[in-house]
Amino acid sequence: MKLEKSIDHNRKTRGGEREMCQKIRELHGMTHMDLLRKTNQLGAFPIDVAQICYEMGIRLMPFDFAPIEAKMQETGDSKGAIMGAIVAKGNDLAILYQKGDTVHGRRFTVAHEIAHSCLHMDPTEKIHMEFRMACEQESPKEREANAFARGLLIPSETLRMITNGATRVDAREVPMLAEKFMVSESTMRARLGELEIEVTDTSADSGLETKLLFTDFGGAYSASGARAASGSKPNFGAF
């Protein structure tokens, strides 16, 4: 069923006699740490969001939202760009991410929709469909989901381990940290702020060279180790 038809189907059948989504019941109330423990990714980096979805029974699907955005514009319901969506029906749960998005964008969208599954979706609801709209990112619910997503992608213990427990990092180290966790620099800066790790700029001090605080674990804590312990998964693309 095309997504356009699913929207109308969702409106017509909400509240009908259908089986509630078992996946939502399993995810409801879980924290990002619960998910990391359950999928054996504590200490791993970068976090494998595709593995989390695989083990939690969530399907990942690339999707071109342009036709939906055009239809919303025609009906006057346009709220800007669609970044992703989550669909629950019966015992099926799927996350749709924007086809052609960056790796960082895809990873954050998936983590964000996982957050909604744990925090905001009603486990007794028969059918649920929700879009992630670019213009709604400042609403309380979206901010909460974004914070959950940052915690999932950048676990505090792992970040502190890599930075040797530093309370501040140089601004020139932020891109390298972001690369290690496969997130955007803005996401990394937001996470550092949440953990009260100050970002300082010493670039104006010509006599100072940035001291990289990162510990090199030689891959001992890489996400590949977590995948091996958890079993194989289908190829979901670059996550």
Answer yes or no: is 221 within a domain: no
Question: What's the mean pLDDT in 68-79?
Answer: 73
Angle between helices 185-194 and 174-181 (to 10 degrees): 100
Together in a domain, 94 and 181: no
Token pair, residue 171, equals 């601004």
pTM for this entry: 0.76
Confidence of residue 231 (pLDDT cuts 50, 70, 90): very low
Q: Which residue has the higher pLDDT, 36 or 91?
A: 36
Both 125 and 196 in a single domain? no
- Choose the final residue of a domain: 200, 215, 230: 200
How far, in Å, CA of 3 to CA of 17, rounded?
21
The per-residue pLDDT for 229 is 38
Contacts of 112 (CB under 8 A, 6+ apart): 84, 132, 145, 146, 148, 149
CA 63 to CA 149: how far, in whole Å? 20
**How many structural domains compose the chain?**
2
Confirm whether 71 is domain-assigned.
yes
Domain boundary among 153, 186, 210: 153
**Residue 208 resides in a domain:** no
Reported as a single tens digit per residue, the pLDDT across 210-225 is: 454 444 444 333 443 4
Residue range of the domain that includes 191: 158-200
Query: Is 60 in the same domain as 178?
Result: no
Same domain, 194 and 148: no
- Tens of pLDDT, residue by residue over 129-163, are 777 776 666 788 889 999 999 999 999 999 999 99
